[in-house]
Amino acid sequence: MAGESVVTRRIALTTSLIVLAAIPNVCAQGRPGVPLGPPPSPRAAALIDITGYWVSLITEDWRYRQFTPPKGDYVSVPINPAGRKLADAWDPAKDEAAGEQCKAYGAAGIMRMPTRLHITWQDDDTLKLEADAGTQTRIFHFGSRQGAGIDWQGISLASWDYPRAPITSGFGGIDFGFTPPPPPGGSLKVVTTKLRPGYLRKNGVPYGAGTILTEYFDRFDLPGGDTLLLVTSEVNDPEYLAQPFWTSTHFKKQSDASGWNPTPCVSR
């Protein structure tokens, strides 16, 4: 009898849990815990706050980032023969003559520069990222694409991102609650396209017009009060790269604008 009781209890418990777990998914049909009604603006729904002033910490690829490396020095970048050919032909004077001093300051290169960032909400749907190196501005649009692109910073579409299951664990399109809930936090995901061809490194390591730049912005709070911003980027360029180019770049939060020093692009 005791055994039956335990079995009965377990079945009842399992049934209850399935029903319990299904409710939020059936009701909200989206991110669990999000109340019904009009969706909040991207600003209100922000998973993390990355606004403020940030300074880059050049601790990796230091020689390539703090100084302009010599022509043909493209170690670690998985460029293909076409990319190599272009990099070997790098001529900063030619770039200057063509008014293209900012080729290394495009979206796929600017975050690797020694720079300070100022990130603000331009409006409830748009984040603005300004870099004092080269005096560049990137605009991250949540939702629909705006602008024609084909410039140094291209078109950047932003979304809040958290790990999620590729499929629900239930059947009939209903998740019975076995899919883990989203984390209390997440990342900013930014996908940038329609870029004007530029340089991954200042010494002419190229990326092409068909480049797709995918970035994740993560914020980490350190004991003692410092805050880090990690920008993980994947550059997909079928024209000049043999495989995706991955880097992760970090910035330290500043309490104010100290050190902010907008400078023009320099090609050498």
Partner 1 sequence: MRGFMKIPCTILAVVLALVMSVTLHGQGRPPAGQSPPAFDVDVTGYWTPALHEDGLERGGGPEIADYGGFALNEAGRLFALSYDPSRLTLRHHQCDAYVMPYQMRAVGNFRIWEERDPHTQQLIAIDVWAQTTEGHRVIWMDGRPHPPAWAPHSFAGFSTGRFVGNALEIFTTHLKQGWLRRNGSPESDQATVMEFIVRHGDHLSDTTVVTDPVYLTEPEVRSNDYVRQPGDHHAWLYACDDGEEITGRAPDAVPNYPFGKQPFAREYSQKYKLPLIASLAGAESMYPGFAAKAKNATEAEALAKIQPAPNQPSETSRAPNPEPRDGEIHVLPIRGNVYMLVGDGGNIVVQTGDQGAFVVDTGEGRLADTVIVAIRKLSQRPIQFIANTSMHGEHVGGNAKLAAAGSDPSLPGSFFDLQTPGGATGHLADPTHHATLMGQNNVVVRLEAAKASEDMIPSDTYLEERRRKFHNGELIELFHESNAVTDGDSIVHFRKSDVIATGDIFTTTQYPFIDLKNGGSVQGEIKALNDILSRTGYEHEEQGGTYIVPGHGYLSDEHEVVEYRDMVVIVRDRVQALIKAGATLEQVKAARVTADYDTRYGANSGPWTTAMFVEAVYNNLKQ
Q: Tell me which residues touch partner 1 (CB under 8 A).
A: 9, 12-13, 15-16, 19-20, 22-23, 26-27, 29, 36, 47-48, 55-63, 66-67, 69-70, 75-78, 113-116, 132-133, 161-163, 180-187, 189, 216, 218, 220, 222-223, 226, 228, 230, 232, 234, 245-250, 252, 259, 261
Q: Closest separation between CB of residue 29 and partner 1, Å?
A: 8
* Helical H segments across 193-257, by residue range: none
Sign of the C-alpha dihedral, residues 118, 194, 197, 99? Answer: negative
Residue 214's nearest CA partner among 199, 232, 201, 227 is 232
Residue 249's nearest CA partner among 139, 165, 157, 133 is 133
Comparison of 84 and 252: residue with beta carbon closer to partner 1: 252
Comparison of 99 and 166: residue with beta carbon closer to partner 1: 166
Comparison of 103 and 116: residue with beta carbon closer to partner 1: 116
Beta strands 52-56; 245-254: pairing state? antiparallel
Q: Which pair of structure tokens corresponds to residue 186?
A: 């997440």
Q: Closest separation between CB of residue 187 and partner 1, Å?
A: 6
Q: Closest separation between CB of residue 51 and partner 1, Å?
A: 17
Rounded distance between C-alpha atoms, residue 198 and residue 111, angstroms: 13
Q: Closest separation between CB of residue 255 and partner 1, Å?
A: 16
Query: Residue 259: CA atoms inside 13 Å, Cβ hemisphere, count?
Result: 16
Comparison of 172 and 184: residue with beta carbon closer to partner 1: 184
Comparison of 125 and 161: residue with beta carbon closer to partner 1: 161
Yes or no: say if 248 and 260 are a contact pair by the CB < 8 Å rule: no
Q: Closest separation between CB of residue 48 and partner 1, Å?
A: 7
